Amino acid sequence: MGEIVLSGIRATGKLHLGNFLGAVQNFVRFQNSGEHRCFYFVADQHTLTEPYDPEDLRQYLLEMVKDYLALGLDPERSTLYVQSSVPEITELTLYLGMLQPVGELLNIPTYKELVRKHPDNVNHGLLTYPVLMAADILGPKATLVPVGSDQVPNVELARDLAKRFNNRFGHTFVVPEMMRQMVKVPGLDGGKMGKSDADNAIEIKMPIPEIRQRYRTKGITDKERTTMDKPGDPYNRCMSVYPVHELVTPGETDTREIAKACMAAEIGCVACKERLVDSLAAMLEPFQARRVELAGKDDYVREVLHEGGKAARVIIAETVAEVRDKMGIVLY
C-alpha cells in the first residue's frame, strides 16, 4: 500500500544544494513513484517563532515555492500548500497541546538551542513549535515523514502525541514513521552547507560561472596535497570537493574513477574542481531554465497554493472534526 508522505519546509531564504540533494530530491522521488499520496507545505507559521521581517516572509514564500516547482514538485501529483491556509491545523495544535506535558517541550534540543541563540526572544510559539509540527503531521494522517536529522525529536514527539491521543480517545491516528534524510552536503568551507554561514553555500539559482568561481577560490581540497604529483586522500581529507562529486557526478559512486585518479596523483585539484562544476551545471541548468520561466509568474504560484490549500483543507478538516467529536467539543 502507498504511504501518505508529508513534509514541511520553513520559509526562510534561499534554497541551496544541500536542501536540494538532502531533501527536495526525495520529495520528488516519492511524488514521481506514483504510489504515494504526497503533502508538501510551507511552514510559514513556524517561521514566526524566530525574529523575522513580514515583508521578507511574503516575498520569500513565493520565491521558495517557485524553486520547489522548478525542482520538480508538481501540483498535479502532490498537494502543495501553505500551513496558514489551513486554519484547522492551528485548531488541532490547541487540542494536541492539551495532551502535551510542558516538561518534555522544555527538553527538546532545538528549543534549547534557540533559547541559547535568542535568550531575549523565548516566546510561547517557540516552546510549542513541536506541537504545531505534530498537528501538521497528524492533520492529513501522514504515515511517512521524511526529515533531516535535526527534526528527529520533533517527529518523535508527534508520534508520542498520536499514541497518547489514541489511548485516551480511541484509535484515530496512524503513528507516523519517520524517514531520516541522511545525505549531508558539505559547504565550501567543509562544514554543513548553509549552517555555519550563507557564504559557504551554493545556491541553486546561482549562475554557473559564479559557482565555478566559488569552487575555484574557496573549495577546500586535500590540504596536504601541496603539489599535483602528490597523491591525495579524497575520502578523508578532501573537505568540500570530493564529497560533492559522489553526489552529483554520474557514475562516481560506483566506479570511484575520480577518487582513484586522485589517489594515483593522476588528476589535479584544479581539473577536479572544474569537473565537479561541470557535473553541477548539468544538474542545475534544466532547473535554472524552469526557474527563469517561473520568475514572473506570481499569479500562477498563488493559484497553485490556493488550490493546494483547498485540497489540504478538506482532508485536514475531516481529521479535526473527528478530533473535536472525540474530545467532546461541539460546534454550535
CB of 94 to ligand TRP, least distance (A): 16
The answer to whether the CB of 2 falls within 8 A of the CB of 38 is no
- Look at residue 43 and give the partner it binds from ligand TRP, ligand SF4, none, a contact being a CB closer than 5 to 8 Å depending on partner kind: ligand TRP
Nearest Cα to 146, choosing from 253, 39, 55?
39
CB of 189 to ligand SF4, least distance (A): 15
Identify which of residues 72 and 139 has a Cβ nearer to ligand TRP in the complex.
Answer: 139
Which residues are near ligand TRP by CB under 6 A?
6-8, 10, 43, 46, 133, 136-137, 145, 147, 151
| 267 sits near ligand SF4 (criterion: CB under 6 A) | yes
CB of 212 to ligand SF4, least distance (A): 14
Whole-angstrom distance, CA of residue 104 vs CA of residue 96: 14
Identify which of residues 141 and 225 has a Cβ nearer to ligand SF4 in the complex.
Answer: 225
79 bridge partner residues: 39
Whole-angstrom distance, CA of residue 321 vs CA of residue 309: 17
CB of 267 to ligand SF4, least distance (A): 5
Q: Tell me which stretch binds ligand SF4 (CB under 6 A): 19-27, 158-166, 218-226, 294-302.
A: 218-226
| 238 sits near ligand SF4 (criterion: CB under 6 A) | yes
Identify which of residues 46 and 313 has a Cβ nearer to ligand TRP in the complex.
Answer: 46
CB of 12 to ligand TRP, least distance (A): 9
The answer to whether the CB of 84 falls within 8 A of the CB of 115 is no
| 269 sits near ligand SF4 (criterion: CB under 6 A) | yes
Identify which of residues 67 and 252 has a Cβ nearer to ligand TRP in the complex.
Answer: 67
Q: What is the CA radius of gyration of the chain?
A: 22
**Three cell numbers at 232?**
591525495
| Count of residues that interact with ligand SF4, criterion CB under 6 A | 14
Identify which of residues 6 and 269 has a Cβ nearer to ligand TRP in the complex.
Answer: 6
In the complex, the residues that contact ligand SF4 under the rule CB under 6 A are 221-222, 225, 232, 234, 238, 241-242, 258, 262, 267, 269, 272-273
